[in-house]
Structure 1
């Protein structure tokens, strides 16, 4: 059985948008879904990624899961667990070994952005699995243009994150490697393209790979600038280990992009 996509749901509109997006990707990849709800023990759980806790019985949760599964185009199984959010999610990741995790990002104002970002970075750091964060406003369609941000330094993906390569291959989208340089530096993408190729991300990708360099003191803004210019509908970022450490939270490019981007962000954790 192929590795599924593991979708986290709290039955909010943002989670439903993430599920619809995951359904579209799973159909393209021809893989199943696992729809996971974490029934938290306490409304004071600091790792929760919802604003208000809706108290549901196990029966109500089961019905809500089945209602959503009934609308999908790919096979899916429901899953429910209890506990602190990230700990419970990691236990289910170890059980199902998915190709990637999918998380919905609420509309700004519905939830503190740093709560979503902190949860995302914790999952990246502790699970080593790729994480797709889907904004609630995302239009559900197969990505046609992907921006892949790379800094030009060598990297090696974690073993679970290597599942991103078949995804890029299956989408058959236009792919642009994006490199952001400081204003006084060379904005050539040669090193960035080479690092992505060396990591195996472009292996067997049928469509031509483009490059785009830009100079900007704010790397996250530079990436978003290019993504907007090329009309990207999916952003892929390399989540280096140093960038997902809590003490570097406010300097993390991955954190900034997850927090600010209006595009779905696929974060790929590295082993080195």
Structure 2
């Protein structure tokens, strides 16, 4: 079965950039693209595509999707769903079994950024599947060559066994390097083996050298992770999204949500059960 990447598309430039990024990753991964468009999900319709509740507007949207798919240089299919976004994604995952989903991050204004992070966190709650967030600007490397995995040093279990293969397949396909960052406020350096064991225990990679672990002392986890990403000149950040963070009553307190909002490079979220 040919693997796939499901790309949420709404025809805006930022999402088209996410589509271009997904297409560039699909080539080395040997994957096809699925353009997922969800009607009636509350997002605005681009000017010129008509009202979403009218048959003519829906017809124009369908035609635009087919045209967009035909313009891709790799095999691309279209999937149009109705209803709310989490339910539509859950169904798309069931049908297409994607390696991961791809979503473009919209405006960098504070209000839009917080709303976007809230939507992503809601998606991870209801459709726990690897999700790649592609920001509007701030990156130019594709496929990525330097990945940085952020871990907290505590044991975790990924939500699905298939998710364990995503990172290793991506590394193998792109020939990228992988480093690990662990941020701590403590002045006592943690044992490298203990921290890396949380990665190896989930079979995210087959072998890992302690020299690839970077311990950062910072007053904030988000600040430490982003500073290390800049120092490493990483072009993709990988984050294990823990369930206890996703269920927080105030999403902006979640480290995952903050990284979604503030990262200047694409972020691959791997949902964990705890």
TM-score computed with the length of structure 2 as normaliser: 0.88
Partner in structure 2 of residue 253 of structure 1: 255
Cα offset, 1:79, TM superposition: 1.0
Return the alpha-carbon distance in structure 1 between the equivalents of residues 61 and 119 of structure 2. Answer: 22
* Alignment counterpart, residue 210 of structure 1, candidates 205, 209, 212: 212
- Tell me how far 1:109 sits from its aligned partner: 2.9
Q: Distance in 1 between matches of 2:71 and 2:213?
A: 38
Q: 1:255: how far off? A: 0.6
Deviates more, 1:178-187 or 1:130-139: 178-187
Query: In the alignment, is the contact (CA less than 8 A) between 1:149 and 1:177 conserved in 2?
Result: yes
1:154 alignment partner in structure 2: 155
- Partners of 1:7 and 1:112 lie apart in 2 by 20
Tell me how far 1:168 sits from its aligned partner: 2.5
Aligned-residue offset at 1:155: 1.2
CA distance in 2, matches of 1:110, 1:90: 28
Aligned with 1:133: secondary structure? strand
Query: After the TM superposition, which segments of 4 or more aligned residues of structure 1 sit over 4 Å from their partners?
Result: 50-54
* Uncovered stretches (5+) of structure 2, i.e. residues with no partner: none
Deviates more, 1:95-104 or 1:133-142: 133-142
In structure 2, what is the Cα distance between the partners aligned to 1:202 and 1:35?
A: 29
Q: Residue 81 of structure 1: SS of its match in structure 2?
A: strand
Equivalent in the alignment of 1:21: 21
Partner of 2:224: 222
Distance in structure 2 (CA, Å) of the matches to 1:156 and 1:196: 10
1:180 maps to: 183
Counterparts of 2:86 and 2:197, CA distance in 1: 35
RMSD across aligned positions (CA): 2.4
Indicate yes or no: 2:192 matched with 1:192: no
- Partners of 2:82 and 2:189 lie apart in 1 by 51
Mean Cα displacement is larger for which, 32-41 or 5-14?
32-41
Secondary structure at the counterpart of residue 212 of structure 2: strand
Q: Which runs of 5+ in 1 are unaligned?
A: none
1:142 aligned residue: 143
TM-score in terms of structure 1 length: 0.89
Aligned residue pairs total: 265
**3-state SS of paired residue (1:73):** coil
